[in-house]
Structure 1
């Protein structure tokens, strides 16, 4: 027997359509990602050639409706994120940056003209977007951003810097968040605009099969209609971040499950002292503990998905999944590596790669500390940090 035992009959909680989406994305990952991911990771290469196939798979802007977007449910998107991250966190991150951040920003806050112009091409993978919020000195506290957009007649002039911006060096447009005289606003900035420079960050010890960049904006001039008209204050970017955090709550389960499955298969075939190591009590305890944590994480994610599809999901509930599921996934990846022994450091086995990736996932879209304090404030009614009134929403 291999794979995660469905200890709680989780599949029975899914509809036929949900299982079909999951199985289709899983088959794609098995065929197009697993054979090459170790090499991509080793060479620090993001598989750009897969972008049209991901579009054909229907996972770009998957949960968005209209404008050529797939209009799948939140649960279906979550299941797809889980299967993509079972391949590699970098793959799920690409889909998240494109759909949950860049496309969501336009879908939620853009004008009708902006939506019509950009979203169909982004859903087809013809236009790649990135999301410029984090700055070199502004991560957990985006209210302290220093990037500034100044209005000059019929144009905006943007100056500043962003850091750890996924996809920026291959993106066609950047959603750039900047201070203005009227507070934080968002702008659609074509990356070919003079003064926009994206530089991949290297070397990296994590997310190697992914792209993260530094961005500099030097007198970047865009027309007045580049502004996202419905995004005012930090509620604009935070609404997009919540979309991405939701997907992470599902995605990390895929990394955990793949680590577990790798360790289980190995333990059944690795013979020591004339018996498979899966027959030893300590190994079985590790496998049982990991399987239970995966089941629990799936139930948390599914609960959030059902709430989101019902229009009832609250930000603090997203923090539960981002914090708990990511923390569990890292522990599972690390424990899986111990079952592999010395072979666990070889690239042909996934747990150590997943563990390294998950250190980045643990940090982006809100650190453990930030999500802990979000939940602490919700439980006690007393904020232990001082975000802006807008950002706390």
Structure 2
């Protein structure tokens, strides 16, 4: 086995807060407990987006990032609550403080989750399972909230494990159990395998990790590009990525591959408007603006280009992002071309000023 494919055994915990925003709201308002709840934008007017749904709402199919109008249609009695970002940030700081009692090697992933490397923990406990139990109990005792934890020897398996017994779950997948576990795992449950890739795998007769394991590394790379090598390793329980403290987002964007090649500028503009809306929602979610807007274009012959424009001050509004992307596209030449993919991203970030909490404000959303 090549050195890069030799598994490194660490003690990794993945902590994922349970319905974080909704749980905070239910904790602070007894009238909301046990009820279907959405934290996010109102479904009225142009409508908002679901930031978090309580487990009572999830039973009806309500999910994060879903349009609020869709959530209301699925669950007519759902209660909508506007986010209180200042409260969530205070809770987040407390959670981070709990983590830091055990390790300084903490990698925040998104709004409500993080990896912890406790290979060498501060308190000399030695057991990652015991540390995960203590962290969960401290969160429950000090914040009256629940978290789920996954424990394993690498990040990939720990993340999957944390989702198995939600809410308030704890799952350990040890070294000897990883390969059988990965072989039985449906491909759509692999973290990093999206709907399109999962559909492609299933069309190839690849329905589980065991099926993926039948392919050689070259075959995996040929079918799935750079990700193929990662899939090849992870189905064998190999993920040597280190937990990286202070991980910083360098860019944020969205892209779409179309079911047919675009040839008309109006079609291209329509798709750019949709992509720009997705980008803006993600920027608002993380309270970010960027000074550089980048357009990605992939043609029908798979040739790919990027074009970018920078601004003196950070931008993040829909009008500017969409207009800039259209201008970059137009200047790249759209006569007699066939486009299969368009993407927009922002980089060179500057954090927004602290929000007031008034209606319409998007507050800081990064959990840690």
TM-score past 0.5 threshold: no
The TM-score, its normalising length taken from structure 1, stands at 0.22
**Structure number with higher strand proportion:** 2
The TM-score, its normalising length taken from structure 2, stands at 0.23
